[in-house]
Amino acid sequence: MGWKRGNRLRLVSEDDAPARTREIFEEIRHSLGLPSVPILYQAYAAFPQFLELHWRAFRPALQSRQFFMLGARMAAESYTRAHNYFEIAALTMYESHPDVSPKLPISQVLDYYQYLDPLLLLISAAQMQAFEGPVGENGNFEPANHPDFPVPPCLLNLEQVSPAVQRTWDERRRILDVAFVSDEHRALACWPDFYREYWAVLKSILRSPVYADCQYRIGESALCLVAELPVQVETGVAQLLDAGMDGEELCSLVRINEAFMQAMTGLVLDVTFARIGCEGGTHGQSAAQRESARAPKKKKKAGSPTRAA
C-alpha cells in the first residue's frame, strides 16, 4: 500500500502505555525473547481493543516451536535470494559514531534483526489474513525453543543524526514508500562509515526490478508459510467491531498492518544485504558461483552424526 504523504504513524511506547497494554507488552517480549517491544506492536497498541483481541488469538501460535522454525525458513530464503541475485560488495569499516557507545558489536546487531524481522513479517502476514478469516491449522503444538536477547541494539537518536544520514533515511523512505525510519537503520547508523558504505550498496539495489521481485516473492512466501502455524488464529472484522472498534479505526488498522508487512519485506532484505557485506560480499562472483555457494549440502549417510535442530 502507498502511505499517504503527511500521515503520521502513532506509536505507543512502553513508558506511555496503560497498565493492560504494558502487561501485553511484557508477554510479547517474553514470548519472542526480546529486550524491548518491536515497533509493529507499538503501532498495534494505538488500537487497544485490537491489541487485546490480537494477542489473545496469536499468543499460542507465537509460543510454539513451529512459529520460530517458520521464521528461520523465512530468513534462509532471504539470504539465498540476496546471495544468488545481487552483487554485494564487502563492507569493512566498523568505527562507531563518536557520540555513541554501542552495547553490541555489529555482528550481534545483525543476529538480532535477522532473528526478529522474519518473525515480524510472519506476524503481519498472518494478521492480514486473520482479518478475513482463520489462518493456520490446529495440530501438534510444540513448546517454543528460541534465543533470548537481553541487550537491545543501540539506536542512533534523532539529535545525533548528521544531515547526510538524514538524507539517506528520507531517500529510502521515498524509494520504498514507508512511513517511518526503522530501528534497523537507526542501529546500523551507529557505525557511520559502515552505514555510508552500506547505503551506497543498498541504494543501487533498491531501484532494481530484481529487488522489487525479491521483495514481492518474500511477501508471498510469508503469506504461504503462515498457513503452517500449528494454532488457528482469527481476528475478523465482526470480532473487532464487537470489541468496540469503529469502521474508521478498522480501515486505518488494516492499512497500517499492510504497510508494515510491505516494510518488513524490505527490512528482511536490507539486513540480509548487510550480513552478506560483513561476510565479504558477493562482488566478483558469477551468478553460477553464487548459486553454488548457497546450494543445499548433500545429505549425510545413514549412521552419520547429526546435530539437533
pLDDT at site 75: 97
Q: Which three cell numbers stand for residue 233?
A: 488464529
Global pTM value: 0.87
Dihedral of CA atoms 167, 152, 75, 70 in degrees, nearest 10, equals: -140
Total domains in the chain come to 1
Q: Indicate whether 301 belongs to any domain.
A: no
Instruction: With CA atoms as reference, report the closest residue to 179 among 301, 5, 53, 63.
Output: 5
Q: What is the three-class DSSP state of 235?
A: coil
Q: What angle do CA 149, 155, 160 make, to 5 degrees?
A: 165
pLDDT at site 298: 42
Which residue in the block uniquely carries the three cell numbers 569499516?
A: 93
Q: Indicate whether 133 belongs to any domain.
A: yes
Cα dihedral sign for 222, 224, 226, 228? negative
Which structural domain range is residue 199 located in?
A: 21-137+153-291
**One pLDDT digit (tens) per residue for the chain, 309 residues:** 334 444 578 999 999 999 999 999 999 999 999 999 999 999 999 999 999 999 999 999 999 999 999 999 999 999 999 999 999 989 887 777 767 777 889 999 999 999 999 999 999 999 999 999 999 998 888 888 899 999 999 998 877 888 999 999 998 888 887 878 899 999 999 998 899 999 998 988 888 899 999 999 999 999 999 999 999 999 999 999 999 999 999 999 999 999 999 999 999 999 999 999 999 998 644 444 444 444 444 433 333 333 332
Q: Indicate whether 123 belongs to any domain.
A: yes
Q: Indicate whether 97 belongs to any domain.
A: yes
CB-based contacts of 107, cutoff 8 Å, min separation 6: 278
Q: Indicate whether 1 belongs to any domain.
A: no
pLDDT at site 61: 95
Scanning 147-233, the segments in alpha helix (DSSP H) are 163-176, 183-188, 192-206, 209-225
Q: Indicate whether 13 belongs to any domain.
A: no
Q: Indicate whether 50 belongs to any domain.
A: yes
pLDDT at site 159: 79
- Is residue 122 a contact partner of residue 74, using CB atoms and an 8 Å limit? yes
Using alpha carbons, list the distances in angstroms from residue 40 to 25, 119, 226, 243. 11, 11, 17, 21
Q: Indicate whether 308 belongs to any domain.
A: no
pLDDT at site 119: 98
DSSP 8-class letter at 154: P
Instruction: With CA atoms as reference, report the closest residue to 94 among 200, 197, 202, 201.
Output: 197
Cα dihedral sign for 183, 189, 194, 196? positive
